[in-house]
Amino acid sequence: MTMKKKILITGGCGFIGSNFIRYMLDKYPDYNIINIDKLTYAGKGENLKDKEGDSRYKFIHSDICEAPVVDKIVKGCDIIVHFAAESHVDRSILCSDAFVRTNVFGTHVLLEAAKRHNVSRYIQISTDECYGSIKKGSFTENSPILPNSPYSASKAAADLLARSYFVTHGLPVIITRSSNNFGPWQYPEKVIPLFITNLLEGKKVPLYGDGLNVRDWIFVLDNCAGIDLVMRNGKAGEVYNIGGGSEITNLELTRLILKKMGKGEESISYVSDRAGHDRRYSLNCAKIKKLGFRPKYDFKQALDLTIDWYKNNKPWWQKLKSKNV
């Protein structure tokens, strides 16, 4: 397809969104990007401080649930890439109100504006957690949606709503579902940055249950490349899984981080398991591989890059942890 050049990114000050904006601006000199972000606790304007002077980049501080504001922003945009979401499972278990509002109603507001202004592509950024847990094999894009947390349920609801706008209204929606992302700028409540920063602070790392829950990990820049590929070459109405092909138990991950940071098993603090904790995620990514997708980053090398980033950016995460973690 012929790509347009004005892209609206929602939640662009968050972890994956900020990495995607940086990726796109660096790769495509002729793209213009508008970033709308509410700047909640996990979205920080400083995540894109290096792009503030770029004439191709515009930031708007607003909430995607504010329909009049969103309508004005969407007008004239060719593509929407919708990252904005409440995303921390533990927080959704404690209180799911914000998850339903942002993840479901906010998506509805965007879809309505996208339909009204005839955007040429609407990319719904989702998660493998929508599929639930799987003992054997891997989820395909046709697997049932069986979410097990308020967070993943709200994301699944948003996906189904987006799909309905393709079927009912012909809106060119594409959904991506990625495995667990990690890398620079990730808020230190998530497991990898939490463990890295705890160890840098001389603290123990809290490991849920027996630690045998399995996750597939993808370096954030590989996910950005996959989203870019789907945006350019994906088929409207379709779902694309984006995985890193790096399945590992949480205990193995913990031990790997400990080893890389010169720590031993005494730094593990086993804590009560999370309610409704999914046992294993696994994605079949044959569909996006047919478009030419291959992860560029080796998991262990990417983990080294991530550890180095947190070592070199202590002021960024120390401020966040002192307030919220």
Please, which pLDDT band fits residue 324 given cuts at 50, 70 and 90? low
- pLDDT, tens digit, 9 for 90 and up, residues 123-137: 999 999 999 999 999
Q: With pLDDT > 90 as the criterion, what percentage of the chain qualifies?
A: 85
Q: Taking a C-beta distance cutoff of 8 angstroms, is the pair 98, 112 a contact?
A: no
The CATH number that applies at residue 171 is: 3.40.50.720
Q: Are residues 156 and 58 in the same domain?
A: yes
Q: Are residues 153 and 232 in the same domain?
A: yes
Q: Are residues 74 and 122 in the same domain?
A: yes
Q: Over range 310-314, report the average pLDDT.
A: 97
How many domains are there within the chain?
Answer: 2
Query: What is the pLDDT, as a whole number, of residue 214?
Result: 95
231 belongs to a structural domain: yes
Q: Are residues 171 and 207 in the same domain?
A: no
- pLDDT, tens digit, 9 for 90 and up, residues 266-294: 999 999 987 878 899 999 999 999 999 99
Which residues are bridge partners to 215 per DSSP?
Answer: 248
Please, which pLDDT band fits residue 2 given cuts at 50, 70 and 90? very low
- pLDDT, tens digit, 9 for 90 and up, residues 7-33: 999 999 999 999 999 999 999 999 999
- pLDDT, tens digit, 9 for 90 and up, residues 86-123: 877 878 888 889 999 999 999 999 999 999 999 999 99
Q: Are residues 173 and 38 in the same domain?
A: yes
Is 201 catalytic? The answer is: no
Which of 57, 131, 151, 240 is the catalytic position? 151
Is 151 catalytic? The answer is: yes
Which of 63, 86, 129, 159 is the catalytic position? 129
Q: Are residues 135 and 194 in the same domain?
A: no
Q: What is the pTM for the complete model shown?
A: 0.94
Q: What is the mean pLDDT of the chain?
A: 94
Is 304 catalytic? The answer is: no
Query: What is the pLDDT, as a whole number, of residue 202?
Result: 96
282 belongs to a structural domain: no
Strand locations in the chain (E): 6-10, 32-37, 57-61, 79-82, 121-127, 173-178, 180-182, 205-208, 214-219, 239-242, 247-249, 268-271
Q: Over range 55-63, report the average pLDDT.
A: 96
Please, which pLDDT band fits residue 43 given cuts at 50, 70 and 90? confident
Which of 63, 128, 159, 216 is the catalytic position? 128
Please, which pLDDT band fits residue 325 given cuts at 50, 70 and 90? very low
pLDDT at 4 over 80: no
Q: Are residues 227 and 146 in the same domain?
A: yes
Q: Over range 71-84, report the average pLDDT.
A: 97
Q: Are residues 137 and 47 in the same domain?
A: yes
288 belongs to a structural domain: no
251 belongs to a structural domain: yes
291 belongs to a structural domain: no
Q: Are residues 85 and 22 in the same domain?
A: yes
pLDDT at 323 over 70: yes
Q: Are residues 107 and 237 in the same domain?
A: yes
283 belongs to a structural domain: no
Q: How far apart are CA 211 and CA 251, in angstroms?
A: 5
Q: Are residues 164 and 203 in the same domain?
A: no
Query: What is the pLDDT, as a whole number, of residue 42?
Result: 76
Q: Are residues 36 and 126 in the same domain?
A: yes
b/e for 46-67, b at 16 or more Cβ within 10 A?
ebbeebeeeeebebeebbbbeb
292 belongs to a structural domain: no
pLDDT at 74 over 50: yes
The CATH number that applies at residue 315 is: 3.90.25.10
1 belongs to a structural domain: no
Give CA separation, 96 vs 20, 135, 137, 154, 163, in Å.
27, 27, 30, 9, 23
Domain that holds residue 101: 6-181+218-242
